[in-house]
């Protein structure tokens, strides 16, 4: 509501300077002069109150819209599946997005120079494969969907479908593959210290309120395409 426009709609009369012989004429003149001013003052105050009343539900509506725009399912954000032509094979059965290939291999080589031997456990996973993992394992382990989602994303909601996610283990401690004990390995300590140099970030840390801690799961953010993919995740965590 535009305040000036609403004020202009009022027909405010000019005070008439009528001189009367009545002894109360001075009081009448004051009332005639100041009554329009008082009327305007109260009108402005009333408009402000009305405006504030109208803004309260609008603000509530805005908050509700923001909540409704949260596209998470069981805590996971949606991700599109990478086109096949953007995938490259880095070793048998492991494909990743072409943008991250060189950084990933360079990181492994740099780790080796420090006596750390990284092993790649899982890269790109199709939505169909993620469907099998989520629903088949859920059934085998007798877990409800919400419980299973703590450790595995529903199909269409996994970072692995983007090709920008990689699961990493320690080649000298394979018993820690996909286990939180991986955080106690030299490989993990090296990654915490050096992964950012190669544009890799731990996806699910201990502070994540939706998904269990996964010290083995890293994502690549070293290209514009990757940053666009993970923009919502970076903004909402």
Task: Decide: 96 and 163 in contact? Cβ < 8 Å.
Answer: yes
Task: Decide: 163 and 87 in contact? Cβ < 8 Å.
Answer: yes
Q: Is the pLDDT of residue 183 over 80?
A: yes
User: Percentage of the chain surpassing pLDDT 90?
Assistant: 49
- Max alpha carbon distance in the chain (Å)? 111
pLDDT at 154: 78
pLDDT (tens digit, 9 = 90+) per residue, 2-51?
A: 444 443 433 334 333 333 444 454 544 444 454 555 444 545 454 454 45
- Cα(11)–Cα(42) distance, rounded to whole angstroms? 15
Band of residue 133 on the pLDDT scale cut at 50, 70, 90: confident
């Amino acid at each position: 509501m535009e305040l000036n426009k609403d004020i202009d709609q009022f027909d405010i009369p000019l005070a008439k300077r009528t001189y009367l012989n009545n002894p109360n004429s001075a009081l009448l003149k004051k009332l005639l002069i100041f009554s329009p001013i008082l009327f305007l003052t109260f009108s402005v105050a009333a408009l402000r109150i009305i405006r504030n009343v109208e803004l309260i539900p609008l603000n509530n509506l805005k908050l509700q819209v923001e909540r409704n725009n949260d596209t998470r399912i069981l805590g996971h954000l949606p991700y599109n599946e990478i086109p096949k032509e953007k995938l490259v094979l880095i070793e048998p059965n492991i494909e990743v997005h072409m943008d991250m290939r060189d950084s990933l291999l360079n990181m492994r080589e740099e780790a080796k120079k420090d006596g750390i031997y990284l092993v790649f456990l899982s890269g790109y996973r199709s939505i169909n494969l993620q469907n099998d993992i989520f629903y088949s394992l859920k059934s085998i382990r007798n877990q409800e969907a919400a419980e299973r989602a703590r450790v595995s994303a529903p199909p269409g909601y996994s970072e692995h479908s983007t090709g920008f996610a990689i699961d990493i283990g320690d080649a000298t401690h394979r018993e820690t593959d996909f286990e939180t004990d991986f955080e106690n390995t030299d490989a993990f300590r090296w990654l915490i210290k050096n992964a950012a140099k190669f544009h890799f970030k731990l996806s699910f840390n201990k502070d994540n309120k939706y998904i269990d801690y996964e010290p083995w799961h890293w994502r690549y953010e070293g290209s514009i395409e990757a940053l666009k993919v993970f923009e919502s995740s970076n903004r909402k965590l």
